[in-house]
Amino acid sequence: MTLQPQVKNLLDQIAAAMADGAPKIEEMSVQENRDGLLAFYAGVIGEPQEVAKVENINIPVDGAEIGLRIYTPKGEGPFPVFVYYHGGGWVLGDLEVVDPLLRSLTNSTECLVVSVDYRLAPENKFPVPVEDCYAATKWVAENIVKYNGDPSRIAVGGDSAGGNIAAVVPLMAKDRGGPDIAYQVLLYPVTDCRYNTQSYIDNGKGYYLEEPAMHWFADQYFSNTEVEKLHPYASPLLANDVSGLPPALVITCEYDVLRDEGEAYAERLKKAGVPVELTRYEGQIHGFLWMPVIMDDAKKGVEQIATALKKQFSSKQSV
| Tens digit of each residue's pLDDT (9 = 90 or more) over 51-93 | 999 999 999 999 899 999 999 999 999 999 999 999 999 999 9
Pairing status of strand 112-117 against strand 64-72? antiparallel
In this predicted structure, what is the pLDDT of residue 319? 41
Radius of gyration for the alpha carbons in the chain, expressed in angstroms and rounded: 18
Active-site residues: which are they? 160, 256, 286
H-helix or E-strand spanning residue 23: none
In this predicted structure, what is the pLDDT of residue 318? 45
Residue type, 187: L
pTM: 0.97
> Helices in the chain by DSSP H: which ranges?
5-19, 30-42, 99-109, 128-143, 161-176, 198-203, 211-221, 225-228, 259-271, 296-314
What does the alpha-carbon distance between residue 100 and residue 37 come to, in Å, rounded to a whole number?
Answer: 15
In this predicted structure, what is the pLDDT of residue 316? 59
113: β partners: 71, 82
Q: Is 76 exposed, middle or buried (0-12, 13-18, 19+ CB in 10 A)?
A: exposed
The architecture that CATH gives domain 5-314 is: 3-Layer(aba) Sandwich (3.40)
In this predicted structure, what is the pLDDT of residue 63? 87
Residue ranges in the chain modelled with pLDDT below 70: 316-319
281: β partners: 253
CA 91: distance to chain centroid? Answer: 13
Task: Tell me how many degrees the CA angle 58-60-64 measures, rounded to the nearest 5.
Answer: 100
